Amino acid sequence: MDTLFRSELIRYGEMAQACYDAFDFDPFSKYCGSCRFPRREFLAGLGMDSAGYEVTRYLYATSNINLPNFFKRSRWPQVWSKKANWIGYVAVSNDEKSRVLGRRDVTIAWRGTVTRLEWVADLMDFLRSISADKIPSPDRTVKVESGFLDLYTDKNEECHFCKYSAREQVLTEVKRLMAMYPDEEMSVTITGHSLGSALAMVSGYDIVETGINVMDDSRVVPVCVYSFSGPRVGNVRFKERVELLGLKVLRVVNVHDVVPKSPGWFFNEGVPMAVMKAAEGLGLPWCYSHVGVELALDHKSSPFLKPDADAVCAHNLEALLHLLDGFGLSSGRDHALVNKACDFLKDDYMVPPNWRQDENKGMVRGEDGRWIQPERPKLDDHPNDMYLHLSQLDLGMN
């Protein structure tokens, strides 16, 4: 693989991995479902100071949708939010990084599921017209899995964090950042793992379909999606529309991972197109097609990984990054990272499974000597001028 391209893939994979490393998924934490770090300390808190990006916005979604295993809730009666979960962030490259890249890069990173795969069973396996959720499309036959659409477009106006949909949050922030750098070459890169890659695909389509990536001087900013271990998202018409709009998609998968094989177990891109068209014509709701170019990897080729590991290991993002890096032989990426949240490395390497955790699970000793959960700084919700940005976009949102 080209050295520069390899490093690009790993960088965006690490930005997706940061969503997991920063997410508080402990039900005994009063901040369960939130990000563990304030926005301005996000990259530093994860040891990613040298990434060359500034996080400009946190993204939230309402938990009142039909993907219950995606959301995490605290057992505490008083919590930061009972209706929202943190699902990612928007970042922009700083001046130094932009000079290296040759462009000002806006990156959107979406969080996927944390450890388990139960969310796959939550997929309603029901395709819905993307235009039914106010995402513009000249063709009502362009359809996306309904759970993904709900996660992207639903909101709860009673909650500070999800009174605006994830869609509204993303589009306004991309437009705001593009307006900040009107004279520069720019790019929009969207990344995500697992269910997060489905959100990356839907938001990438939305950005190019609505024309958010068109500058005031009519220059078109390139948009691409790096999908890691992502499921199928939409039907054949969705795939064709994505290609027509020029959205570039690269899907990195482990050939032994079950998630990229769903939904659409029987009617998918592997079936002759005539059969797919006939099935869609009959109104069958489970005809799905992958989008873009696939980069298939095989964990059984790595001398570090257990060949007979379980389904969760085969879906692990750190394992994909390990494979992308040539098992650590390319840049020397530490193979111990694979076991941060699973038990995938062979026992010979003496790396304990699931080793990433907060010191003392976040408990600290108070002035009276008792162990307590410390309070965290107030979480960012939305800019005060959010409604102004929405009205300027004029996308028919309400």
pLDDT digits (tens, 9 = 90+) for 280-318: 776 666 789 999 999 999 999 999 999 999 989 999 999
Structure tokens that stand for 185 in this block:
């070459």
Determine the Cα angle at 21 with ends 16 and 26, to 5°: 130
CB 287 within 8 A of CB 267: yes
**Helix orientation angle between 146-153 and 166-180, rounded to the nearest 10 degrees:** 60
CB 199 within 8 A of CB 192: yes
Separation CA 192–CA 54 (nearest Å): 18
Give strand pairing partners of 54. Answer: 92
What is the Cβ-side half-sphere exposure of residue 120, based on CA atoms within 13 angstroms?
20
Q: How confident is the model at residue 398 (pLDDT cuts 50, 70, 90)?
A: very low
When comparing pLDDT for 272 and 148, which is higher?
148
Q: How confident is the model at residue 124 (pLDDT cuts 50, 70, 90)?
A: low
Q: How confident is the model at residue 79 (pLDDT cuts 50, 70, 90)?
A: confident
The contacts of residue 58 (CB under 8 Å, 6+ apart) are: 35, 39, 86, 88, 89, 379, 380
Whether the predicted pLDDT of 369 surpasses 70:
yes
**Helix orientation angle between 195-210 and 236-245, rounded to the nearest 10 degrees:** 50
Other C-beta atoms lying within 10 Å of the C-beta of residue 127: 27
Return the active site residues.
194, 257, 315
Whether the predicted pLDDT of 21 surpasses 60:
yes
Residue with tokens 């795969």: 117
The reported pLDDT for the residue numbered 327 is 84
Whether the predicted pLDDT of 397 surpasses 50:
no
Separation CA 248–CA 253 (nearest Å): 16
